[in-house]
Structure 1
Amino acid sequence: MERYEAYKYSGVEWIGEIPEEWETLRLKNVALILRGGSPRPIEDFIAEADDPNSFNWIKIGDTEKDGKYIRNCKQKIIADGCAKSRAVHRGDLLLTNSMSFGRPYILELDGYIHDGWVCFANIKSVSPEYLYYCLLSEYCTHQFDLMVDGGVVKNLNVDKIGSATIFLPSQKEQQAIADYLDAKTAEVDALVADCEREVGLLREYRKAVISEAVTKGLDPDAPMKRSGSKWVSEIPENWDVIPLKHFSKLITDGVHQTPEYTDEGIPFLSIKDMSNGTISFEDRKYISYAQHLELSKHAPIEEGDLLFARIGTLGVTVVVKDCPTFDIFVSLGLIKLKGGAINGDYLAYCMNSDYYCSYIQTVKAGGGTAAAKYNLGEVSRSPIIQPPPEEQEKIVAYLDAKTAEIDSLIEEKQEMADKLREYRKSLISEAVTGKFKVPGV
């Protein structure tokens, strides 16, 4: 990349130098910075869909992942709500100031915003497109992180935002940088999308491999018979379909009331701690040993037990292996197997297969709000395809190897996507701090 002819110290140690002719300005000097407002209770101010006298109510949910513009909104508010909110206009720039903290967008519609937004209006000396990339850069986000109020929920006031600095080239250079970044980030985004698409295909393939093995076995020439279950048409002749309860000595769930958490003690897990076929202790909470003794009377978790999701992606199942002592919340279910009744690893593969997902979707269809949870009775009645014990072991060995191979490919694609995202961030930051000259400058 071509560099500028002369540089000067930026005044920021970790930024270093910027081009000699660039200015350093505070955000309050390039725009009027205003916080949104929310009429409350907001439900009283939401307009009917066909109300001709309503106004756009722009929410963070109206944004697109990695999007630059807000072009549409899903809700509108009545006129009385406008007086308690903040008007914004096409060409203004919005910055998220709540859960998805510090993400900029350019408006392509007029409307009103709630207090989870900050608006940059009356923008001067800088093009909205260039300002967008400045706010998206690591340089600005780092400044915001240092200024932030609050703990779990990050929040910035407009005075602090206004005190942040950006580096400003000429108007012509601003446009050239914005155009360059539009093109380059689009290229990177397309490559990331390809990686994500391939990850999705690999995950589908993984599930298909599991489903094929647990419904048809490993012998393509094995004689087949009607299964007698509507969830799978045929199974090998010497296999059976049996309700899960016949293999289990206990099917239960975790505690229904939130326990009192402690700074250390016994790990306490919920659905958020189980994903992609693993149990994670990384963000665990703790309960006291005394609470553990009480909870373990109801749901005593041991090596070889199975945990399954009762909310979220219903039925996703993990075998407890090499874990410390822990307890679970109601969002997780527990299966304790009868000795020798069925291979636990095989059962987990069954419960993570397509046919089992179809069972859950069917029994939960039309269930209203109750469908949000996988009931223990439904788990107990769920159909499990049972091969002979020696075939279960062979299927587990085959699937352990095959899924490990697929998981490795998925990890490679995810790492590639992460590196592309990091490159995208670095490219933006270097462009808006003048570390290189973009073409056309």
Structure 2
Amino acid sequence: MNNELAPYAEYVDTGIDWLNSIPAHWSVEPGRSCLTYRSNKNVGMQETTVLSLSYGKIITRSLSKPSGLLPASYETYQIIEPQDIVIRPTDLQNDKTSLRVGQANTRGIITSAYLRLAPRGELVPDYAYQVLHSYDLMKIYYGMGSGLRQNLDFNDFKSLPIPIPPAEEQYAIVKYVRHVERKIGAAIQVKRQLVTLLAAQKRAIVHQAVTGGLAPSVEFKEAGVPWVETIPSHWAMVPIKRLLQDIEYGTSQSPEGYGPIRILTMGSIRDGKVSVPASGNSVAVPPGLTVRHNDLLFNRTNSPDLVGKVGIYDGPDDETISFASYLVRLRVRRECCAQWLCYALNSPLFWAYARGHALLSLHQANLNPTRYGQLLIPLPPKKEQEEIARYLCRREREIDAVINRIEREISLLREYQTRLTADVVTGKLDVRTAAAALPDVDPHHADLITANDADEEGLDGDDLTEESM
């Protein structure tokens, strides 16, 4: 993509470690001379369009479906104008996530906890955003800030060096960088779609195996439950509780924040597995509330789309590991294969069926373990359970290997974009000729695809309320 690019003919040293040299005809100005800090409050509700900074993009929030903590009044928010640059300046010490910088395409309001900057003088707005965005990707801001949580304010930007090419060159740089964003964004989008298809294939394989078995030809009978039509004729439909020794709620005592005992939480269950925290946060737990090898944990309280997920603990029995009260331990009888049961309970159609029995309250759902234990699932003989578990484990590894390779390719594309953008914006590569050959594209067109857009699927945006700051 950058085969046609070459360095400039002549450079001068800036004396700045991370900026090094710039083209000889460029200048470097401190932020105080080319950036303006603005903070116009929304007094009298002059503006009602609420904006969010979400993964490096300024987006419009829906007031009909608010998320996160809400402000007492939107009059405390600040007014944002098109081409303003918005920076999330808080908690650099603990949050090393990039994409703290966004550029507004429309007028609206955003939390006053964020910095609103506008370029002035010879600094072109779109190029100013690219510079500050590149600094974000280069992790420059993490060496700045003050206070216990390392927060930024405008004083940090007053002395920030800004490379400034001639205006026509700034436009060329922006044009080329956006071309790169579109190309890489489109490539990542294709790869994300492939990951989605592979994940769907994995779910379909699981459902087919746990409801129909592995035999190429077998007689079927009616299952008698809404989530599966037929099962092999030699299988039975049984309530989940018949396969369990016991169903046990987790500990309700608050962790002390220290101690040797590790406590499993909602986040510990992912993709049918139980992930154990690296360190403990409790001194003691009630007797019997620990997990053993092949115990299943079921999430009885979560958001409506996640409640009921199940994970299997495959660690040793000699470690003291407990689980929080919103998890339920399912201890499997010896006559049942625990790995098979975990696959069956995570089958997408069964999981959706189980979630349908949850009680909703605000943004939470609660799936009663007693009611859950009465739900019917297909039961093959134990030998078939073990064969199904081995088969699904093998297929899962094969598909996950492909997904991991694609995710690595996406990561490499993003790294390439970051490095290329930084090199172009700071003058390490000359894009003037290449940009002149590119078609003009509206930078605010709805069809503009960027790598960040392609990566946002399935992610939540930042919580932008002042209360959350």
TM normalised by structure 2 equals: 0.80
Q: Which residue of 1 aligns with 2:322?
A: 327
Report the residue type matching 2:357 in the other structure: V
Counterpart for residue 142 of structure 2: 145
User: What is the alpha-carbon distance in structure 2 between the residues aligned to residue 138 and residue 397 of structure 1?
Assistant: 48
Question: Do the aligned partners of residues 377 and 162 (structure 1) sit closer, same or farther apart at CA in structure 2, a change above 3 Å counting?
Answer: farther
Aligned residue in 2 for 1:361: 355
Partner SS, residue 292 of structure 2: coil
Describe how 1:12-411 pairs up with structure 2 within 5 A. Answer: 12-34=16-38, 55-60=47-52, 63=53, 65=55, 67=57, 70=59, 72-75=60-63, 84-98=76-90, 103-121=100-118, 123-138=120-135, 142-149=139-146, 155-262=151-258, 265-281=260-276, 284-288=278-282, 290-291=283-284, 294-295=285-286, 297-310=287-300, 311-312=302-303, 313-323=306-316, 324-340=319-335, 342-364=336-358, 367-369=360-362, 372-411=365-404
Gaps in structure 1 of 5+ consecutive residues: 40-44, 46-52
Change (3 A) 1:35 1:334: farther
Work out whether residues 261 and 285 of structure 1, in 8 Å CA contact, stay in contact via their aligned partners in 2: no
CA distance in 1, matches of 2:218, 2:75: 73
> Is the partner of 1:190 in helix, strand or coil?
helix
Structure 1 contact 135–141 (Cα < 8 Å) conserved:
no
Instruction: Tell me by how many angstroms 1:74 deviates.
Output: 3.3
Q: How many Å apart are 1:217 and its aligned residue?
A: 0.5
Aligned CA distance change for structure 1 residues 139 and 207 (closer, same or farther; 3 Å): closer
Contact 1:306–1:344 (Cα < 8 Å) also in 2: yes
Question: Do residues 434 (structure 1) and 438 (structure 2) align?
Answer: no
Kept in 1, the 8 Å contact 2:76–2:111? The answer is no
Query: 2: CA distance between counterparts of 1:89 and 1:418?
Result: 33
The letter of the residue matching 2:62 is K
Structure 1 residues 121 and 13, CA, compared in 2 at 3 Å: closer, same or farther?
closer
Cα deviation, residue 285, structure 1: 4.8
Query: What is the one-letter code of the residue matched to 2:263?
Result: F
Question: What CA deviation, in whole Å up to 9, does each residue of 1:72-114 have, x standing for no partner?
Answer: 45349xxx96764433322322222347776222223223332
Distance 1:165 1:331 in 2: 50
Cα shift readout 1:6-47 (whole Å, capped 9, x = no counterpart): 1122222243322122212222221212457699xxxxx9xx
The one-letter code sitting in structure 2 at the alignment partner of 1:398 is: Y
Comparing 228-237 and 85-94, the one that deviates more: 85-94
Q: Do the aligned partners of 1:346 and 1:392 also contact (CA within 8 Å) in 2?
A: yes
- Aligned equivalent of 1:416: 409
Which amino acid in the other structure matches residue 239 of structure 1? W
Deviations 1:165-194 (A, max 9, x none): 221111111110000001111111111111
SS at match of 2:184: helix
Q: Write the distance in 2 (CA, Å) between the matches of 1:101 and 1:415.
A: 18
Q: 1:388 to 1:93 in 2, by over 3 A?
A: same
Partners in 2 of 1:103 and 1:186 — Cα distance?
20
Shift of the 284–93 alpha-carbon distance from structure 1 to 2, 3 Å rule, reads same
Q: Is the 8 A contact 1:147 1:156 kept in 2?
A: yes
Q: Which structure is higher in RCO with an 8 Å CA cutoff and minimum separation 6?
A: 2
Q: Distance in 2 between matches of 1:315 and 1:83?
A: 41
Listed one character per residue, the Cα deviations across residues 250-304 of structure 1 (whole Å, up to 9, x for unaligned) are: 2123223431111x522222122332333334x545234x41xx33x25221111
Contact 1:226 1:233 (8 Å CA) reproduced: yes
The DSSP-based 3-state class of the residue aligned with 2:257 is: coil
1:49 corresponds to which residue?
none
- Deviation of 1:351 after TM superposition, in Å, equals 0.9
The residue identity in structure 2 corresponding to 1:305 is D
TM-score, normalised via structure 1 length: 0.85
Query: 1:196 offset after TM fit, Å?
Result: 1.3
* Alpha-carbon offset, residue 374 of structure 1: 2.6
Task: Sort the Cα spacing of 1:335 and 1:35 in 2 relative to 1 into closer, same or farther, 3 A.
Answer: farther
Indicate the SS of the match to 1:412: helix
Is the Cα–Cα contact under 8 Å of residues 267 and 286 in structure 1 kept in the other structure? yes
% same residue: 24
| C-alpha displacement of 1:329 | 1.6
2:111 & 2:30 partners in 1: Cα distance? 25
Conserved 8 A contact 2:86-2:117 = yes
User: Would the alpha carbon gap of residues 126 and 319 (structure 1) be closer, same or farther in structure 2, given more than 3 Å must change?
Assistant: same
Contact 1:37 1:113 in 2 (8 A): no
Contact 2:42 2:109 in 1 (8 A): no
Distance 1:38 1:149 in 2: 28
CA distance 1:242–1:415, change in 2 (3 Å): same
| Distance in 2 (alpha carbons) for counterparts of 1:197 and 1:140 | 25
Distance across 2 between alignment mates of 1:393 and 1:373: 31
Q: What code does the residue aligned with 2:208 have? A: E
User: What is the rounded CA distance, in whole Å, between the counterparts of 2:274 and 2:261 in structure 1?
Assistant: 15
For structure 1, which segment, 235-244 or 95-104, has the greater mean C-alpha deviation from structure 2 after superposition? Answer: 95-104
Contact preservation (8 Å) 2:210, 2:378:
yes
Measured against aligned partners, the alpha-carbon deviations of 1:386-441 in whole angstroms (never above 9, x if no partner) come to: 10111111111111111111111111111111111111111111111111101437
Question: After superposition, what is the alpha-carbon deviation per residue over 1:53-81, rounded to whole angstroms, capped at 9, x for unaligned?
Answer: 75134332xx56554x55x45349xxx96
